[in-house]
Chains A and B, each alone.
Chain A
Amino acid sequence: MIVEKIDLNTVQNDFNRKMAAVKRRVIICAGTGCVANGALEVYDALAAAIAERKLDVVLELKEEKPADIYLSKSGCQGFCQAGPLVTVEPEGFLYCKVRPGDAAEIVEQTLIGGAAVQRLLYKHPVSGQAIEKQDDIPFYKRQNRYVIGDCGVLNPECIEEYISRGGYAAARKAFTQMSPEAVCEEIATSGLRGRGGGGFPTGKKWQLTLAQQNAKKYVICNGDEGDPGAFMDRSLMEGNPHRVLEGMMIAARAIGADEGYVYVRAEYPLAVQRVRKAVADAEAAGLLGDNLFGSGLSFNVIVMEGAGAFVCGEETAMIASIEGQRGMPRPKPPFPAQSGLWGKPTVINNVETLATVPLIIAQGSSIYRTMGTEGSPGTKTFALTGHVANTGLIEVPFGTTLREIIFQIGGGVTDRFGNPDPDGFKAVQIGGPSGGCLTADALDLPLDFESVKGIGAMIGSGGLVVMNQDTCIVQVARFFMQFTQNESCGKCVPCREGTKQMLALLDDIIEGNADEQTLMLLEDLAQAVQLGSLCGLGKTAPNPVLSTLRYFRDEYLAHVRQKRCPTGQCKALAQPEIIAALCKGCGACVKKCPVGAIKGEKRQPHTLDAEVCVKCGSCVQVCKFNAIVGV
């Protein structure tokens, strides 16, 4: 069957003409965060409220008909904390924490009246002033949303809209105007480095694969984003799946591949669905398949859903998983570039890397190099989470400091009740289970691949988890160790047994069964696992332990010497107590205590009987004054 090829320019002009006929566009963020907060209900409520007022509205830009309002959904807009988010264009109003009940007011005031609904606007945390436009909000103002920007605007299920924003033009350029060598060269010159964690130069990887003489080659898009605390790839796959596909097409052109796989984590059902739809739409439009752009070349994409194994993010393990095997890594060399999927030369790139590629090809590597640092050009997305006022997905140029990210974009550290706490910063975990914990000393370090590695951590896939003073650092190290121990595939002994023993040692420290010898043993073992493991999982698994031992040794020593947890988080070490100076005698804890361990007169400081207390923690949950410690 001959598929009728679409002309990108015609699609672009058609869509732009349809868009121009629309007076106002209402965009509801339908990223996972906002959906969980009820964004779909808000969408329905808005649609109903618009219908009730009999306004002229379209839900899909199918035919050309002038309409007053276009109601659409978008991918993740990044500011998950403030979701569900609703943007109104052309004014650029951004409404936060919108409830279905607000729909009528939005319709009345904004869609009919043209004015902003003041109460739904973002309020500046210090001045309390309402900020109308998205770009003026501190969270967005200091970012450079180069790769993820389109995610929050375009309808991810509409291929026409992607094309209207210049989509697939870079692929066309690569297939019709550039040789494979030129594509590789352009990416190599741009200095783009793999965003999955290692930071290997993408252009070099492609050149190595291009050099292989083989009629069959593969491109794999690594969407197995397993790092706890990272969701940038998810947002890209959900919010702009066509960009990822276009990146794969360019990679295929560069190395001479005709088949590609997108390997998506099963925990991301929406991403699986959106990527599948994008592939189907691109096939229907003749953008995937045979004779692409009249070049005579073909490229087909298969979407594969993962089955829940963190180690499959490692490239050789992912190849094994696609082949239907247990997802276990194998020694390198041979590298996938030489012998990958079914023994054929294979390029594996991370989602974010591939999503950056079309921008570089379209705009040229020199523009790309104007962002970031010499060794790490461009921008990086980070998932900013934990004890920070504004959690969400952010993108900044390399070279930005952690202080700018946490205090300006993130709005500062919060205490355990979620209130701002200017002195609350304790540590930030960067790079997930492979990365490390950094202290306040690292706040002014310009972030790039080398600088972070230099202080014992790594950029990794870009998870940034901020921790406040209430966080026990030994518990954090234990958390990551448990994660890697669970996910160790069991193939090599240092990782399989080493992580298990390290976890046991950390448990000893937390339970008060350790001494200083334990710390030395832990350090020795960590180094052995680092040196002896087969793949990246094992090699980097000791990083959280080593970095916390390096920067928070005093806290470890308090656990082993005085059998005391400075934050009071380790239950086995805690002596429950009520601090009389803080207790207001409200009685909330007395009511909550299941064993009657707390006693006291109303409005007088209460006392806690440590012998009776079972350390369930219920009293701490209800105490508004932080007066109970050691539970």
Chain B
Amino acid sequence: MCPDCCQTATRKFEKVCEILDKHQCDPCKLIPILQEVQKVYRYLPEEVLTYIATGLGLSPAKVYGVASFYANFSLTPKGKYVVHICDGTACHVKGSGLIKDALFKKLSLSQDKKTTEDMLFTVEAVSCLGACGLAPVLTINGKVYGQVTPAMAESLIDDIIAGEKK
């Protein structure tokens, strides 16, 4: 059941409503709900968090608290291509820092600015992806690339940009 709110909001958040319904508005299912909502929006907009809070009968602060606690939830929009550079131990000792530096430089990003202006790329260092045997590793939208060099990472980006222009 959807929370009682105005018609327009219900229409606007139709997909959120479906997800809430699927989980029977159970507050214990907050994490799976946020995961599914993030799949739809690619991030968690503030108004959606408030809407979820109302739907589950929780305070917005509580929902925000959970959403901001876990690394996989993003409160800001992400780029079309999300590059995860593994910074687990094995990747770290094999030079994952150089890959991150190279991509940050190439895309004019920094520790505080991880998404490009054109919303094409988000570059993040993440903790171990569990593919240590192939270190250093990066993933682009979930596809794993192993034994990456800074030059190889740059050419992967070039390929995507070239593909986008077509």
Contacts and interface: CB of A to CB of B under 8 A. Distances in A.
B128 interface: yes
Given A36-B137, A81-B133, A385-B135, A309 B70 contact: yes
A471 interface: yes
Contact of A229 (B28, B132, B144, B145): B132
Nearest to A37: B146
Contact of A231 (B32, B34, B69, B130): B130
Contacts of B142: 269
Given A328-B69, A391-B135, 7 more contacts: A226-B128, A229-B128, A229-B132, A231-B128, A266-B72, A307-B71, A386-B89
Contact of B35 (A305, A385, A391): A305
Interface residues of B, number: 39
B2 interface: no
A227 interface: yes
A432 B92 CA distance: 13
Contact of A304 (B32, B92, B98): B32
Contact of A35 (B128, B135, B144): B144
A251 interface: no
A267 interface: yes
B56 to A, nearest CB: 9
25 contacts: A33-B131, A33-B134, A33-B146, A37-B146, A80-B132, A229-B88, A231-B131, A231-B133, A265-B130, A266-B72, A305-B35, A307-B35, A307-B71, A308-B73, A310-B127, A323-B28, A328-B69, A385-B132, A386-B90, A391-B133, A393-B133, A465-B89, A465-B90, A465-B93, A471-B93
B19 to A, nearest CB: 14
Interface residues on A, range: 35 or more
Given A36-B131, A268-B130, A324-B27, A385 B90 contact: yes
B140 to A, nearest CB: 12
Contacts of A304: 31-32
Nearest to B144: A36
B107 interface: no
A479 B130 contact: no
A383 interface: yes
Interface in A26-63: 32-33, 35-37
B126 interface: yes
A463 B93 CA distance: 14
Interface string B139-166: 0001011100010000000000000000
Contacts of B29: 324
Contact of B69 (A35, A322, A327): A327
Contacts of A322: 28
A613 B74 CA distance: 39
A373 to B, nearest CB: 27
A434 interface: no
Contacts, number: 135
**A227, A230, A327, A385 pick with most chain B CB within 10 angstroms:** A385
A476 interface: yes
Contact of B92 (A234, A308, A326, A479): A479
A483 interface: yes
B144 to A, nearest CB: 4
Interface of B: 27-32, 34-35, 65-66, 69-73, 87-90, 92-94, 98, 126-135, 137, 142, 144-146, 150
Nearest to A490: B69
A25 interface: no
B127 A483 contact: yes
A393 B130 CA distance: 11
A56 B133 CA distance: 35
Q: Sorted from nearest, which 6 A-B pairs have the closest CB atoms?
A: A80-B133, A228-B88, A308-B71, A307-B70, A308-B72, A36-B144
A387 interface: yes
A429 interface: yes
A267 B32 contact: no
Interface string A484-500: 00110100000000000
A326 B130 contact: no
**B73, B88, B129, B135 pick with most chain A CB within 10 angstroms:** B88
B31 A307 contact: yes
Contact of B93 (A308, A327, A476): A476
A202 interface: no
Contacts of B150: 621
Nearest to A342: B28
Contact of B94 (A269, A323, A326, A386): A386
Contacts of B87: 228
Nearest to A33: B133
A262 interface: no
A365 interface: no
A228 B32 contact: no
A392 interface: yes
A225 interface: yes
A510 interface: no
**B88, B94, B133 pick with most chain A CB within 10 angstroms:** B133
Contacts of A83: 133
Interface string A209-244: 000000000000000011111110010000000000
A191 to B, nearest CB: 28
Contact of B130 (A32, A386, A471, A476): A32
